[in-house]
Amino acid sequence: MSMGRARPASLRRAEGQWALFFLAPNLLGFLVFTAFPVLASLALSLTRWDLITPPVFVGVGNYALLLRDPLFWKVLFNTVYYTAGTVPLGIAVSLAFAVALNEPIRGRLGLRAVYFMPVVSSTVAVAMVWRWIYSPDFGLLNYLLSYLHLPVTPWLASTTWAMPAIIVMSIWKDMGYGIVIFLAGLQGIPQHLYDAAAVDGASRWQQFWGITLPLLSPTTFFVSVVYAINSFQVFGQIYMMTQGGPAHATSTMVYYIFQNAFQFFKMGYASALAWILFAVVFLFTLVQVRYQSTWVHYE
C-alpha cells in the first residue's frame, strides 16, 4: 500500500497561520489578563507601593516583614484550619450523597438537580441566608436549639464557633459539585466487579471499601485538589458573614490580602502575601500528586 505524498510546505505554513489567527483572541486574553498580572504582582511584591506615590524597590523586604507579622501566621493558620475542615468533610459528605443518588431510587434525577442548586447560587445570597440561620436573636438554628432546651450560641460572634459555622456553610454550598463528579466516577466502575463480589458473599459495606473506594481514587484526587484550591482562596463567605472577625478568628489569606491591598493600600505587601499563598497551594497540590502511585484504575 503506497503512502500518500507529504503536503507542501506552503500548505502547512498556511494552516499554522490560520491556527494562530483563531487562537489569537484567547492567547491575547491570557497574556493581558493572566500572564501580565501574575508577572506584575511578582514585581510589585518586591516594592512598597500605596497606589499614590511611585513604587519603591525594597527587594525581599515584604517577605521578611510578613514572616515577622503575627497576624500573617494567624490568618495562615485560619486558612489551613478552614481547608482541613472543608476538604475531608466535604469529600465525605459528597461521596455519601453520590452513593445514595447512584441507587435506583424514584426521583433521583430531580434530587441531583436540587443538590446542585447551591453550587450555581450566588455566594453573597447564600451567605446572607446562612447569616440569618446563625443569627443569635432570631436565627433558625438557635430557635431549634431553644425548642430542644439546649443552650443557644452566638455562632458568628464566637471565636470558637465562627470558623466551624462557616465551614458547615461552605460544605453545604459546594457539595453539589463533588456529588456530580463522584456520580460520574461511580457510573464508570464496571458492574461485573460488584456481581463477582456479591457471588463471593461480600456485603454492601465490604463492596464499598474493597471496590468503590479504591476505584474512585483518581476521582477523589481530583475533587480533593479542587476543594483544596477553593478552600485556600475562600473570600466571599468571610467578607459577607464575619468580615474576618471576631478578633481575626475567621480572617483568611485572601481576605488579609484584600485588606492590605484595598483598605491599607499596601500593594507590595499584599502581592507578597499572594505569592506565599500560591506557594502553599502549589506545595499542597504537589504532595497530592506524589500519591498517584496508590491510585486504582478501572482497567
Each residue's pLDDT tens digit, 202-213: 898 999 999 999
Instruction: Look at residue 111 and tell me if it is in a domain.
Output: yes
Distance CA 260, CA 169 (A): 26
Count the alpha carbons within 13 Å of 128 in the hemisphere toward its beta carbon. Answer: 4
Split into its structural domains, the chain has a count of: 2
| Residue 44, Cβ density class (10 Å: 0-12 exposed, 13-18 middle, ≥19 buried) | buried
Sign of CA dihedral 275, 280, 284, 290: positive
With 70 as the cut, is the pLDDT of residue 74 above it?
yes
Residues 105 and 67 in one domain: yes
Q: Residue 14: which domain range?
A: 9-44
φ, ψ (nearest 5 deg) of residue 36: -65, -45
The per-residue pLDDT for range 173-204, each reduced to its tens digit, is 999 999 999 999 999 888 888 989 999 888 98
CATH of the domain at 147: 1.10.3720.10
Are 140 and 276 part of one and the same domain?
A: yes
Q: Could you report the per-residue pLDDT of 150-175, keeping only the tens digit for each?
A: 999 999 999 999 999 999 999 999 99
Give the confidence band of 2 by pLDDT, cuts at 50, 70, 90: very low
Record the pTM: 0.89
| Residues 245 and 189 sit within 8 Å (Cβ to Cβ) | no
Give domain status of residue 225, yes or no: yes
Query: In the beta sheet, which residues pair with residue 48?
Result: 56
Residues 164 and 195 in one domain: yes
pLDDT tens track for 275-284: 999 999 999 8
Mean pLDDT, the chain, rounded, equals 90
246 shares a domain with 112 = yes
- Same domain, yes or no: 21 and 65: no
Separation of alpha carbons 259 and 266, rounded Å: 9
Spell out a b/e string for 104-122, using b for 16 or more CB atoms within 10 Å of the CB, else e: eeeeeeeebeebeebeeee
